Structure 1
Amino acid sequence: MKRIAWVPLVVVLLASALVIGGQSAGQSQTKEFVVAAWGDPYEAGWRKSLVPAFEKKYGVKVVWVQGFSTQTLAKLRAQKDNPQIDVAMMDDGPHRQAVALGLVEKLDRSKLASAKELYDMAFEPNDMGISFGLAVYGLYYNTKAFADNKWAPPTSWTDLARPELKGKVTVHNIGNANGLYLLLALNKIAGGTDTNLDPGFARMKQLAPNVVTFDKFGETPTLIQQGQAVIGTWNIDRVANLAATGVPVQFVYPKEVAWGQKAVITVVKGRPTTDLAHKFVDMILSAEEQVNTAKFIFYGPVNRMAKLDPETAKSVVYGPEAMAQLTVANWEVINQKRPEWTERWNKEIEAR
């Protein structure tokens, strides 16, 4: 009797084990595709459209590795001999450094169906990466605070030094493109050159007493919402993201120079997923995802076929006329001199 009683139990246990084992095997077979890029609100925005669409179409799980562009570059350098990242998104400056360090795979345009729809500005030299979005770097200000105090809205980089704004200005650290672009703008206004930044540093020293923080860790939105900051350096996509939450902030194109920046996506060298990585690049470049990127991330589209609604169009760099307003920095000089400028900034500006 015992032997007869045990047979069904053994069958049940074996069947259960097979089911569980089958589920585990199925789950383990889902491939991971690793993307290194900025964190929220960027990751959250792409998880509304790009990520689920890619996962569904290609049967993969997208793993997002958050980081500023300089942090992503550092990860790529650290992993050079054993890369773990499939595609990386960075600002054009750090991206150019990645290219120089041999971390980037050359793109095959024949695998990018969307390439024929792109503005010329999207393409990187020798197809080492490609831009999928445009941003502009300038100023933000709190429209309510300015109206309440009857202050004139800002129009110039030099407005950051206005006496009534002392202790209410946020400036990003030079490690962030916003801080770098401020230094370059002040240097340009003061008569400096690409290689002589003495006039820019002099202007930064004059501005420093007005600054409540040199943002290194993303504290700008918190200071704005707390009312401690009413003006500062920022890029249009970040201003638009914050404004979308109901905060009364507005982006300003400074009259002297508005710095254009390309967000670049690159296929990481040395990974076995090159074909799949090209599919990811092609998807983010498609007209549909360009519209979604503009709507959810506030990057201006590089695909000519992307048609934006009027509200979104007001918040991004959109179309040839808007692109013509942008000045692109000389990254060959910047990347060579940036370590020297950073050391000087830390000693002369933030250490004061």
Structure 2
Amino acid sequence: MSSPWNIDQLDRRAFMAALAAVGAGSLLPASAEAQGADFKGRQLLSSGFGGSTMDIIQKAAFDPFDAATGAKSTQVPMQSAAALARMKAEAGNPQIDMYQFSGGQEAQAKSEGLTEPMKSVPNLANVPGGLKDPDGHWVTWAVIAEGIVYNKDKIPTPPTSYKDFFKPEYKGHIAFPAITNGFGMDFLVMLARTFGGGEDNIEPGFAALAKLKNETIFKAASDLPGLFGQGDIWIIPYDTGNAFKTAQSGLPVAFATPQEGSPAVPITSCIAKGAKNADVANGAINYLLKPEAQIAIAQGMRWSASNVNTKLPAELASEIPAVSQLAQLDRAKINANRAAWTERWNREIAR
């Protein structure tokens, strides 16, 4: 699964504009069950993220969709960058009907004319405007939320802010990812925002990181169990999914949503332009947006739901930021400055 941080972006556009662009067809009572006769025996091919992630998504959405409609859905594992490359290679004659992305490739695919608008997807109306294309070319069906991962035994009161990384009592017990890890880049931006700057003024972010440069710097999500397992690390900026995985290993780890907001990476779907089974793909996307599927995905991976009508069980909701708690990052500006900020990181922070 590929994303800005190689594991495996939210603008607040007007809800009504997005709904209008999708068109009245999305309001028709065209449930996937009602379309079942049309889908019986039809094959749907979608890219997928591979591993247990793909298995959870299959069981949460594709299997129920197939059972209700008679379709046969298959996910082909590939990273998002590779998926976009295949989408380009098959332009005009797509063999994969539907694509899943985690790195912002859906916007590029639309801009290059590789996608087509969704049709008759009733649940699309329940997704906030900032989480879907205003022209209906893609939609976010889950969000990986970032924030603070902490040791509950060492920090019994959950952290509330990125400013907590500078508490004197935590000195020597902090770890944060290198800027080559997307979470590290987002941490830099959120520190800049926290201390008066942002994507347009990164100086406060680097000034804050300079105060933490003697703390532990790590590279990948796979480092989290070891860092927390040693007992010396108490607090790390990372995401809900890896917090959940680390806790499942038996470590006393939890996730906290900072008051500044949780940077978010949307998990999206779109339909290849000219897809032979575009109608089936529309039905499958509608299932990905169903509250039942979104709850199952949240339970399996602690990803945030995008459908505003999805009501997570209270205990589960306490571990996952709601859509209203997500922070909008300007990914275009971040990407434009990535090389310069990385060079500065290597010069001023890395060791």
Task: Indicate whether the TM-score tops 0.5.
Answer: yes
More divergent stretch after superposition (84-93 vs 45-54): 84-93
TM-score, reference length from structure 1: 0.73
Task: Please point out which of 58, 65, 68 is paired with 2:77.
Answer: 65
Q: CA deviation at 1:186?
A: 1.4
- Counterpart of 1:331 in structure 2 is 331
Q: How much has 1:348 moved relative to structure 2?
A: 3.9
Which of 199, 203, 213 is the equivalent residue of 2:218? Answer: 213
For residues 180 and 108 of structure 2, what CA distance do their matches in structure 1 show?
A: 14
Is the 1:133–1:302 Cα contact (8 Å) retained in structure 2?
Answer: yes
| CA drift at 1:207 | 1.6
Cα distance change of structure 1 residues 104 and 206 upon mapping to structure 2, 3 Å threshold: farther
The reply on whether 1:157 has 2:158 as its aligned counterpart is no
Match of 2:256 among 245, 252, 259: 252
Shift of 1:75: 4.1
Q: Give, in angstroms, the shift of residue 138 of structure 1.
A: 1.2
Identity of aligned residues (%): 25
What RMSD over aligned residues (CA atoms) do the two structures have, in Å? 3.3
Given that residues 178 and 234 in structure 1 are in contact (C-alpha distance below 8 angstroms), is that contact kept between their aligned partners in structure 2? Answer: yes
Q: SS of 2:349's equivalent?
A: helix
Q: Is the 8 A contact 2:178 2:217 kept in 1?
A: no
Following the alignment from structure 1 to structure 2, what is the Cα–Cα distance between the partners of residues 226 and 128? 46
> What SS does the corresponding residue of 1:114 show, helix, strand or coil?
helix
CA shift, 1:90, in A, is 3.2
Q: Does 1:106 align with 2:116?
A: yes
Change (3 A) 1:196 1:95: farther
Residue 104 of structure 1 contacts residue 129 of structure 1 at CA under 8 Å; is this kept in 2? no
What CA distance in whole angstroms lies between the structure 2 residues aligned with 1:170 and 1:125?
A: 39
Shifted more, 182-191 versus 77-86: the winner is 77-86
- Provide the rounded CA distance (Å) in 2 between the counterparts of 1:232 and 1:55: 40
How many residues in Structure 1 have an aligned counterpart in Structure 2? 307
CA distance in 2, matches of 1:167, 1:74: 40
1:171 is aligned to 176
Aligned residue runs from structure 1 range 187-336, under 5 A = 187-215=192-220, 218-227=222-231, 229-244=233-248, 246-269=250-273, 271-318=275-322, 323-336=323-336
* Deviations 1:188-213 (CA, angstroms, capped at 9, x unpaired): 23333423323322322332220241
CA pair 247-268 structure 1, distance change in 2 beyond 3 A? farther
Please report how far the alpha carbon of residue 222 of structure 1 lies from its aligned counterpart in structure 2 after TM superposition. Answer: 4.3
- The alignment status of 1:124 with 2:133, answered yes or no, reads yes
Q: Equivalent residue for 1:88? A: 99
Q: CA deviation at 1:132?
A: 0.8
**TM-score calculated relative to the size of structure 2:** 0.73
Cα displacement (A) at 1:344: 3.5
Kindly indicate whether the alpha-carbon contact (under 8 Å) linking 1:166 and 1:211 is maintained by their aligned counterparts in 2. Answer: no
CA shift, 1:266, in A, is 2.3
Q: Which runs of 5+ in 2 are unaligned?
A: 1-40
State the secondary structure of the residue aligned to 1:218.
helix
Change (3 A) 1:98 1:167: farther
CA 1:229–1:256 in structure 2 vs 1: closer, same or farther (change >3 Å)?
A: same
Q: Indicate conservation of the 8 Å contact 1:77/1:103, yes or no.
A: no
Judging changes above 3 Å, is the alpha-carbon distance between structure 1 residues 227 and 266 closer, same or farther for their aligned structure 2 residues? farther
| Residue 84 of structure 2: aligned partner | 76
1:129 shift after superposition: 0.9
Q: Given residue 338 of structure 1, which amino acid in structure 2 is its aligned partner?
A: R
Aligned counterpart, 1:49? 60
Which structure carries more helix by proportion? 1
- Structure of larger gyration radius: 1
